[in-house]
Structures are given as C-alpha cells and as structure tokens.
Amino acid sequence: MSAVTAALADGVTITKRNLIKVKRVPDLIVFSTLSPIMFVLLFRYVFGSAIAVQGISYAEFLLPGIFAQTVIFGSTVTGASLAEDLQKGLIDRFRSLPMARSAVLVGRTVADIGLNVITVLVMSITGLLVGWRIHTSFPEALAGYLLLLGFAFAMSWVMAIVGLLVRTPEVFNNATFIVVFPLTFIANTFVPTNNFPSVLRAIADWNPVSTLTQAARNLFGNVPPRQATGGAWSLQHAELYTLFWVVGMLVVFVPLAVRMYLRTAVR
Amino acid sequence: MTDIIEVEGLLKRFKETTALAGVDFTVPQGTVLGLLGPNGAGKTTAVRILATLLPADGGRAVVAGYDVATQPAQVRSRIGLTGQYAAVDEYLTGAENLEMIGRLYRLGRSESRRRAGDLLERFDLVDAAGRPAKTYSGGMRRRLDIAASLIARPPVLFLDEPTTGLDPRSRQDMWEFIAALVQDGTTILLTTQYLEEADRLADSMVVIDHGTVIARGTGDQLKAAVGGQRLEFTVADAAMVAVVAERLAPLGIEPPRVDQQTRTVTLPVSGGAEVLATALARLDGAAVELVDVGLRRPDLDDVFLALTGHAAEDGTGTPDATSGTSGANSTDGGPAGGRGTGSGPGGPAPGGGTAGAGVRPAAPATGRHAAAETEGAHR
C-alpha cells in the first residue's frame, strides 16, 4: 500500500466509525434536523408575516439563508466530537497507532459532511412544503448544494482547531455558539441588508455567510427577476467570492489542524 | 536477554514543572517492569514519551530497536498502549472497536476480524461483543481497551495504571489477564500506584518521585533495602503501652517505637516466628490485654514511605485504594483484605502482610508510625 492509499483507507475506517455513531445515536440526527425544520417554520410564518422582500416571496428568500446557517451549525459537530474524543482518551489511542496522521481529522470532517447532507435534504423537503422552489437547471442547483456543503466542510476544519484547543465539548458548544450566531445573523440570511446601519451593512455584505447565501439564491433561482444584486463586489460575485473563502480556509486550516492534532496531548 | 526498552537521561519539562529530570531504565525482553510513583511523579509522562505521544526535551528512548524521537512510525507499529482510562469508542460494539483498531494497525479486514474474535474470547467478552461499549461495566471496558492494544500482537505493551478505579474483583481478573500475556512473551511496562499490583506482576521495579528514579530492583530487593520484619503489639489500655515496650525492648535490634494514639508498640526484630513466641512469653506475667499481635514483614507501602516520605496513594482519594496486603498474603488474600482495612483518602494503612498469630481487627492508622520510620530507615 502506498502512503496515499493507506491514508485514504485509514480515513475511510474513521469515517465509518463516526457514521456508526450517527446510526447508534438517533437523537443526534433527530435533533440536528428538527432544529432547522423549526427554524424554517418559525421564520417562514413568524418573521415572514412581517418581512417583505421586494419581488419575491419570503419563503424563497429565506430558504437559502437557512441552508447556510444550518450547514455552518452542522460543521460545529466536528469540533465538539473531537473535543469529546480528546476527553475520552481516544485521540491518544489513535495517535499511538501506526495510522495516517491526517486520518482522524479527515474521517471526522467527511463524516460531518454526511450529517450535513441529511439535514440539507430534510430542510429542502420542508422548504418545498412551505413554498420554496428551485427555478434553475439541475447542474445549477447541484452547484448550489455543493457550495453549501463545501463551505461547511471548510468550516469543519476551523471547528476542528477550536475543538482541539478547548478540549471539552461543553465549552466548545458555548464558545462556538457566541461566534456562529452573530456570524449567521449579521448577514443577508434572514433579512435584506439594505436597511442595516452602514458599518453593519459593510460587515454583512463582506461576510462569507452572506455571499454563500447569495450564491445559493442565485444557483437555486431565488432572486427577484432582473434585479441587480446589492452594491458590494462580494455580493455581485457571490459564487466566486465564496469559493475563494472555501479554498482559502482549507489551505490555511487543514495543515494547521493536522499540526494541532499531532501536538495535542491530554492535560 | 536483550533490552527491548532502553531509556537514558529522559527529560521533560512542562511550563513550570519538571516532569522528568533525567530518568534511566531498561526493560529486558519478555519481562514486566513496574514503574511506581505517586500521582504527578512522572510515570504517565514517561509512558507518553515512550508511546510517541509526547516529545522529550532531552535524553534518549529506544523501543523495540527504534528511537521514539526519530523513528516514531516504526515504534507505533510495535507497541500497544492502554491509558489510564478506557479509550474505547462507546458507540461502537466491542467487536467493532477491535476491528477498527485492527484496520488502523493495517491488519486487513479478515485478519482484523479473526484477531478481534480471538481477543474477545480471551478477555471473556464474547457475550458482550455485539453490544455498544457504552453498556459495558468498568472492568469490561478496561479489558476491551487492553484487547484493543493487543490486536496487532505488539511485542511491547504499555499499561498505564490498568486497574485504577476497578473494583477488587475486576482488578483480580485483570491481573490474571496480564500475567497470561507475560507468559506469551509480551514485554510490559506497567505503571501503577498500587504496590500490591507491582509486587504481584512486575519482575523488577523502578520507583520515581518528582521525575527522578529514587530506587530500583526487584520487590524483594526493595523490601530488603528498607529493613527487616518487626513485631507489632496493640494493647487495649493506653497505660500499658510503656510496660509492653519496656518488656519487649531487649528482643529488638533497634529500640521500640511507641504510638500512644493507636496504643501500638513496634519493634524491629531479626528472626522469625520464634521471636514472636518469645515476646508473648515475656508478656505473660504482665496482665496486658492484647488487641492485636503480629509479626509484620515490610511491604511495598513501607518501601514507598521509606523512600519518599509519603505514601503511594497520597492525595489520590481513590475510594477503593487498596492498602498493601502484600508479601505472602497477596496471592491468596487478594485486594479484599486490603479493602477491609479501609485506607481512606487521608491515611493509607499499610496493614497487611501480618504473618503469625495476629487476630487483626481493622488496623488503625498504622501510617502514622510508618511515616515516623522514614527518618530512621532512610535519609
């Protein structure tokens, strides 16, 4: 076996291990899909009754935003699970084995894509039920989903680093909540940014969560016909700008996460 | 016999503390080395360096012919590590856990499955093989953990406090499993706080404290270094303690030590059971009501106290900490006896190993005068 195939095999072994947990702990999947369903329904009917978006129904405007928020929350599972493995001594065991050094992190982040696929699927069905539609071709829609999952995958590596730093799942959850919540709210996810105060609007417009949402809207066709998107370059080139972020995060954080993993020690 | 583990001048510093200040030891192939020391002595740090989990700041360590610093990959495929807590995946079944580790040792699917089956049988986990490890008892998890570290038949096994937190019964089982491994030729580095455990399993011992080796040798050598046996007389009436001490003094090789608090007279002696008989005869006319009489051999608790000035279990507060039933009693007496003497978190009571006539009620804090002995026997 060459080093690469061996590393892949190890990654597969760890991915399987993580997916078995999803199977054995149905609560995990139930709650990670129930909360986005709840979000869809709450925003669609509570805020949707008060928020008017020009030229498009609120359901159509909302769903890509909820997708973006949910896959980012989904990526936090990576960090929480690594913190748990660290706490339980499993990372120690893995590090004492002659396995590929990247396998634990690769297996974790890949398994978490699987989890995100399931939640996105459930949300899409819920969305279709409350009036959201895809208006574009199959390849475009697929590109929309892939961009969402790709962004979440990149975020998983950031979360991996945080998880290895904080070391306890509880602390991790609190720490990420206070970051991820504003990150996904100071954005065009739930409301248009037009009326934000100017500083906030600048932040929102360049926030990759906004551009991810905008890109998803474009790719699913959830934009008002013939309306030029907002002024910022980032929003006008939402797909490209978001892709930069995905690639940039992977280039920076994958090697960093692997380094951290190798130096991680209990205590 | 060749040394399969060689450690020279191992140094490790954490921010402000020195965990290892130049530790040397070797482990001949096929033997068990007991690495003993109180909490924070550096035992786990040493194991983590040898298992390639931590880089050392100085010194050299060679495991199975490979340097841990420069050839960690080769070392990893030749070692098994069982840490202080059972590192098994709770959501996977016992069989899945073992197969996963087998795959990660690069054993291949069918070989991993076969080895997993063998080990489940050997560690008495066949019935639980299909259940998630979450449902296992502490002892079962620990066995699964050891099984996992054995899956690739590593020539060297690190057992870091393998029985900490186990109930006496599970501990006894674990000892049997470990003893069987040694029979198969596995070299084991065992760290423990339980001196009884080291006494029972280890061929030789290294005692470390504050990151330095303070003693080494076989259990018998360590005991011999601390001193011989002694008589212990506990009387009912505190007023009689002095009388007993006076009458027994001529039999001792050193002056008797008196503990008014526990109403105990301790007298270092040479010779065996006949000294005890003589001592009892000397007390005949004195109308002393004796609560406990015994000829006590030193156990490793005494060794520890003598060497470090504090007991092995100091500060751990482990509720079921076994005080040392040691020596001749350890093989059949088991931990149950030690447990009965109830060494609480505050005062470990090395009360075991009493040979001879002793009717032994729950020994009151023997630790107190044992501690006093430190000055006499050492430093």
Q: How far is B107 from chain A (nearest CA, A)?
A: 11
Q: Are strands B58-63 and B66-67 parallel, antiparallel or unpaired?
A: antiparallel
Average pLDDT, chain B: 79
The ipTM value here is 0.88
Contacts of residue A148, defined as CB under 8 A and 6 or more positions apart, other chains included, come to A67, A68, A71, A120, A212, A216
Of chain A residues 89-118, which have a CB less than 8 A from chain B? 89-90, 92-99, 103
Best probe of the B interface among A27, A97, A108, A267, by most B CBs < 10 A, is A97
Could you give the CA distance from residue A144 to residue B138 in angstroms, rounded to a whole number?
A: 48
B71 burial (CB, 10 Å; 0-12 / 13-18 / 19+) is: middle
Give the type of residue at A129.
L
- The angle at the Cα of B356, spanning B353 to B358, to the nearest 5 degrees, equals 80
- A9 part of contact set with chain B, CB < 8 Å: yes
Could you give the CA distance from residue B5 to residue B188 in angstroms, rounded to a whole number?
A: 10
pLDDT attached to residue B258: 87
Q: Per-residue confidence at A72, pLDDT binned at 50, 70, 90? A: very high
The segment(s) of chain B belonging to CATH 3.30.70.100 are 227-377
The DSSP output letter for B128 is: G
If one compares B334 and A52, the residue with the highest pLDDT of the two is A52
pLDDT attached to residue A47: 86
Contact A188, A213 (CB under 8 A): yes
CA atoms within 13 A on the CB side of A61: 22
Q: How far is B138 from chain A (nearest CA, A)?
A: 14
* Residues B29-68 pLDDT 10s: 999 999 998 888 899 999 999 999 999 999 999 999 999 9
Could you give the CA distance from residue A219 to residue B58 in angstroms, rounded to a whole number?
A: 58
* Residues B91-139 pLDDT 10s: 999 999 999 999 999 999 999 999 999 999 999 999 999 999 999 998 8
The segment(s) of chain B belonging to CATH 3.40.50.300 are 3-223
Q: Per-residue confidence at B318, pLDDT binned at 50, 70, 90? A: very low
Of chain B residues 84-113, which have a CB less than 8 A from chain A? 84-92, 96, 100-101, 103-106
- A24 part of contact set with chain B, CB < 8 Å: yes
Position B314 pLDDT exceeds 60: no
Chain A residues closer than 8 Å to B155 by CB:
none
CA atoms within 13 A on the CB side of B169: 4
Give the type of residue at B274.
E
pLDDT attached to residue B350: 38
* Residues B319-374 pLDDT 10s: 333 333 333 333 333 333 333 333 333 333 333 333 333 333 333 333 333 333 33
CATH 3.30.499.10 fits domain B3-223: no
Instruction: Please count the structural domains in chain A.
Output: 1
Q: What distances in angstroms separate CA A266 from CA A2, A58, B42, B329, one per listed residue?
A: 31, 48, 14, 37
Could you give the CA distance from residue B204 to residue B215 in angstroms, rounded to a whole number?
A: 11
- B73 part of contact set with chain A, CB < 8 Å: yes
What is the CATH class of B227-377?
Answer: alpha beta
Q: CA gyration radius for chain B?
A: 23
Residue A169: domain span? 3-263
Percent of chain A with pLDDT over 90: 73
* Residues B219-241 pLDDT 10s: 888 877 776 778 888 988 888 88
* Residues A181-209 pLDDT 10s: 999 999 999 988 888 999 999 999 999 99
Could you give the CA distance from residue A163 to residue A257 in angstroms, rounded to a whole number?
A: 10
If one compares A243 and B296, the residue with the highest pLDDT of the two is A243
Query: From A15, which residue of chain B is nearest by alpha-carbon distance?
Result: B100
Contact A172, A86 (CB under 8 A): no
Q: Do B92 and A10 touch (CB under 8 A)?
A: no
Q: Both tokens of residue B205?
A: 């011992």
Any idea which residue has 């906004």 for tokens? A210
* Beta strands, E only, B269-331: 290-296
* Residue among B265, B269, B267 nearest B243 (CA): B265
Number of Cβ atoms within 10 Å of the Cβ of B255: 11
pLDDT attached to residue A224: 80
Q: How far is A105 from chain B (nearest CA, A)?
A: 14
Could you give the CA distance from residue B137 to residue A78 in angstroms, rounded to a whole number?
A: 28
Could you give the CA distance from residue B103 to residue B113 in angstroms, rounded to a whole number?
A: 9
Give the type of residue at B19.
A
